[in-house]
Amino acid sequence: MLLLLTLAFLAGPTCRAQEIWGNKVGTYFIIRGEEQGEIRGIKIYFTILSHIKGIQLLFGKHWSILYGMATASHKEWLLEDGEHIIKVRGDACLCLNSLTFITNKGNHVLFGKSQGRSFEDSGGPDKHLVTVNGMLLSGCISGIGFDWRHVPENVVSTTPQREPITIPNTSKPKERSKDEDKDGGDGGNDKDDDENNVPKLIHLEGTVHQVTLDRRRQSPNGPVSLCPINFVHL
């Protein structure tokens, strides 16, 4: 009885000491799990008198640890895709009696019964709820706080897109290399060599011989060589 009187004395008007709405009496807690994703759902448990006794948050696809106690009386709410909590209203006496979550899509979801001292909290423009903290008593949650963070906007460029520009091919046809020109010129020399491969008449020691001479194309490493092919007595 003395404990209840002490708590009632400490439970003054609604305050926001250390980011807590309601009463700051009890054991402090904070719900972790933001790294799993944004808040996608809330589950709240109630006492027989409809006080809030436990709370869980759904981050992405993972439920957080339960803070408080689980009871048979509870309510679960799942947010829609693209929906965020932008404001919270509540009522508290010694314990939290109600919480109303308001979203960017205009939904109002009430947990508990509205009775006691009222409070309201929001993060301002472009902010939404990312997690919850509070104070725990043996029989209920006595106070609660909210962490609001900025929602980055999707920046869309307003500059009109330019039409693709086709650049004509102004490159010149590939010139033949000097080596190719040289080889091409050699083709004519080869023809001349073939024409010069004709029988020649020479005298060797008083005897006339018909000799076929082969004029080879000059190589890069030496002069032209003449090679006798056939000797025929005339």
In a domain, 3, yes or no: no
Backbone angles phi, psi at 55, to 5 degrees: -150, 140
Q: Are residues 18 and 92 in the same domain?
A: yes
pLDDT tens-digit series, residues 17-48:
348 999 999 999 999 999 999 999 999 999 99
pLDDT tens-digit series, residues 61-83:
999 999 999 999 999 999 999 99
In a domain, 36, yes or no: yes
Q: Are residues 107 and 196 in the same domain?
A: no
Query: How big is the chain by its Cα radius of gyration, in Å?
Result: 49
Q: Are residues 140 and 205 in the same domain?
A: no
Q: Count structural domains, the chain.
A: 2
CATH of the domain at 48: 2.100.10.30
Q: Are residues 41 and 127 in the same domain?
A: yes
In a domain, 181, yes or no: no
Could you give the CA distance from residue 54 to residue 191 in angstroms, rounded to a whole number?
Answer: 105
Which of 65-86 are b and which e, b meaning 16 or more Cβ less than 10 Å from the residue's Cβ? eebbeeeeeeeeeebeeebbbb
pLDDT tens-digit series, residues 194-231:
455 545 544 444 444 454 445 455 545 555 444 554 54
In a domain, 62, yes or no: yes
| Most confident by average pLDDT, 4-13, 30-39, 183-192, 208-217 | 30-39
Q: Are residues 128 and 227 in the same domain?
A: no
Domain carrying residue 206: 190-233
Q: Are residues 42 and 113 in the same domain?
A: yes
- Provide the pLDDT for residue 116: 93
- The model's pTM: 0.59
Angle at 128 between CA 94 and CA 103, to 5 degrees: 80
